[in-house]
Amino acid sequence: MAYTGGELNWLNGRYGISAPANSVPVMKLIRTHCPKTRSELCELIGWHYRTVCPCGIRSRGTVADFGKNLYDAQMRAWGRYRYSLRDCIQWEYDLFVSQSLKGRALENSAMTQLRAALPHLIFTEARGYLDEELRIDILIQQENRILGGVQVKPRSFNHMRQGVIHRNHAANRKLGRPVIYLFYDNAERFVNLPEALAAIRRAGK
């Protein structure tokens, strides 16, 4: 069941199971420790639950724990279990491990393509407050001036619950500059790159 959409996506969002405060700030973990494989990332998540790491990142459980939380949430939401525990653990594994590693690679690909298309601008990885609180993946600068930010998202983001989308946009607005969304499809192609480039050019005027 290697799919992170559907009813379990709704359930996960409804109860905030994968929210960083309830699970692990997985993209920060990836940036800090640079795991290369899915098994390495899965082990890192568990290690940061069992051990206090000098990096300061803490996990509230293992991937299996997050799957159990998703499984248990079914009874609260539906009064019965529609999906097995195995299905729920696999769903959270796909989200935290498979999709997160893919997301990291796509962020790097986005920066490469943006730098090639707009060499007069500076594109850097957003870190700390910009990433964790403002939900920005890439910072756009011209000399010392911040022009805006970029969020790299799957196209399916547009079909998520409106509350999730609104929270992202509300966090983005705190930057005080435009935040452009760059969407990718299942083939990992950026589907709105020309429009995103045009929006970035407008931000620089």
The arithmetic mean of pLDDT across residues 49-77, rounded, is: 96
| Predicted confidence (pLDDT) at residue 4 exceeds the cutoff of 70 | no
| Predicted confidence (pLDDT) at residue 42 exceeds the cutoff of 70 | yes
Q: Are residues 39 and 95 in the same domain?
A: yes
pTM across the whole model = 0.72
Distance CA 57, CA 24 (A): 8
- Domain hosting residue 129, numbered range: 118-203
Q: Are residues 143 and 92 in the same domain?
A: no
Distance CA 44, CA 53 (A): 10
Q: Are residues 140 and 55 in the same domain?
A: no
C-beta of residue 35 within 8 angstroms of C-beta of residue 44: yes
Q: Are residues 81 and 141 in the same domain?
A: no
Distance CA 152, CA 150 (A): 6
Count of structural domains, the chain: 2
Flag whether 61 is in a domain: yes
The arithmetic mean of pLDDT across residues 150-175, rounded, is: 87
Say what the pLDDT of residue 2 is. Answer: 47
Domain boundary among the residues 57, 72, 101 is at: 101
Flag whether 106 is in a domain: no
What is the DSSP code (8-state) at residue 190? Answer: B
| Predicted confidence (pLDDT) at residue 204 exceeds the cutoff of 80 | no
The arithmetic mean of pLDDT across residues 91-109, rounded, is: 90
Mean pLDDT of the residues in the chain:
91
Domain boundary among the residues 101, 133, 168 is at: 101
Q: Are residues 137 and 89 in the same domain?
A: no
* Residue length of the chain: 205
| Predicted confidence (pLDDT) at residue 108 exceeds the cutoff of 60 | yes
Flag whether 123 is in a domain: yes
Q: Are residues 35 and 64 in the same domain?
A: yes
| Residue of higher predicted confidence among 133 and 205 | 133
Phi, psi of 197 (to 5 degrees): -60, -40
Flag whether 145 is in a domain: yes
Flag whether 109 is in a domain: no
